[in-house]
Amino acid sequence: MTPHTEPRAVGARASTMSTVDWIAMILLIVGGVNWGLVGLLDVDLVAALFGDGSAVSRIVYILVGLPALWCLYTATKPGSRQRFA
């Protein structure tokens, strides 16, 4: 007899993401939406909310840029095929 195993849910692999991975993904989505608005409507939501070139805007841009570097690192490190496959 073979042991009974439950079928995996469609999004079950996402549960293996670390907290840092989740934060990076959320910030990348925020940045992607902002860049989409800039490209489609010429609206920079970050600048509109926090002021063009303000310290807070710059911090937000940095906080969106850092996860991009994190994802680049995790995508190119050894063993990453198993993680994102």
At residue 56, the pLDDT reads 96
**C-alpha–C-alpha distance, residues 19 and 23, integer Å:** 6
**C-alpha–C-alpha distance, residues 56 and 53, integer Å:** 8
Of 14 and 25, the structure prediction assigns the larger pLDDT to: 25
**C-alpha–C-alpha distance, residues 56 and 72, integer Å:** 25
Mean pLDDT of 24-44: 95
Q: Say if pTM beats, i.e. exceeds, 0.85.
A: no
At residue 77, the pLDDT reads 84
Mean pLDDT of 40-47: 95
Mean pLDDT of 69-75: 90
Residue 66 clears pLDDT 80, i.e. is over it: yes
